Amino acid sequence: MKAYQDLLADVLSNGVEKGDRTGTGTLSVFGRQFRHNLEDGFPLITTKKVHFKGIINELLWFLSGDTNTKWLKEHGVSIWDEWATDTGDLGPIYGKQWTQWPTADGKTINQIDYVINTLKTNPNSRRILFHGWNVEYLPDEKLTPQQNVLEGKMALPPCHLLYQFYVANNKLSAHLLIRSSDLMLGWPYNCASLAALTTMLAQQTSLGLGEIVITMSDAHIYLNHLEQVKLQLTREPKPLPKLILKRKPDSIYDYTFEDFELVDYDPHPHISAPVAI
């Protein structure tokens, strides 16, 4: 995807050097947007190999409402390990807020159910959205992720925090707001995860595929990723793969990794880069 390469080049050229929570430092720009028509292929970047299985299993984990790393580790995904407690707990992060948003009366709201029901019954609504920014559970930046979990807070606040959906011409489009976007490591996951989720929702609601749009507030490259980004920019993007859902489960919560088939993914080699903790 040339648009992603252009975004990396933009930050290298125009980014301002800033400090950050991790102490690593970034080149940062404020306010950028990416869009992609899903009929043109599945937006899994090709200028480096990306772990498709990890992306899908993380998404299924979010949708399950789970907030412990045990299931992820059993399915070969370790991307959350650094922020978890010794028992794998991450506090009330994404999945909890998506499917079990707590209310004052002690009940919970499943925002995913709301989205699906509204897509089916009122697709013209401008309120088809869900988000994870529950202020009550945001972590204290002065504490470690593990300390925050022990205090009943999230290990990390949501980066990809608001998803909104739009139906036109019987096609489903999605818009994602990312408040803090790590362009080298996080963004490729977020983009492909949004596309997979949109594809699943479209199947569940008998809609075609439209666009995905990603708005990034703070879009940044960590200073210890600069050489990796420059290497990636020397590579020519290849044709995008296609995503096939091999069956239609009874609900969005019944998908497994085996239901997803990635066709014709031929990326450049993987580029290793350290994660800022």
Alpha helices, DSSP H only, in 15-150? 52-64, 70-74, 94-99, 111-121, 145-150
The DSSP bridge pattern shows strands 208-222 and 26-37 to be: antiparallel
Tens digit of each residue's pLDDT (9 = 90 or more) over 103-150: 999 999 999 999 999 999 999 999 999 999 999 999 999 999 999 999
Long-range pairs, 226-230, Cβ under 8 A, ≥24: 226/12, 226/27, 228/184, 228/271, 228/272, 228/273, 229/8, 229/12, 229/183, 229/184, 230/12
Mean of pLDDT over the chain: 97
- How far is the C-alpha of 133 from the C-alpha of 170, rounded, in Å? 30
- What six digits make up the tokens of 251? 């609900």
Helix/strand/coil for 263: strand
Catalytic-labelled residue, pool 149, 159, 212, 252: 159
CA atoms within 13 A on the CB side of 72: 25
Q: Is 252 annotated as a binding residue?
A: no
Domain ranges of the chain: 31-219+241-263
Give the pLDDT confidence of 199-215 residue by residue, as tens digits. 999 999 999 999 999 99
CATH architecture of 31-219+241-263: 2-Layer Sandwich (3.30)
Other C-beta atoms lying within 10 Å of the C-beta of residue 91: 23
Confidence band of 239 (pLDDT split at 50, 70, 90):
very high
The reply, when asked if residue 4 is annotated as ligand binding, is: no
The response to whether 140 counts as a known ligand-binding position is no
pLDDT in tens, 141-180: 999 999 999 999 999 999 999 999 999 999 999 999 999 9
126 labeled part of a ligand binding site = yes
Whether 159 is a known active-site residue: answer yes
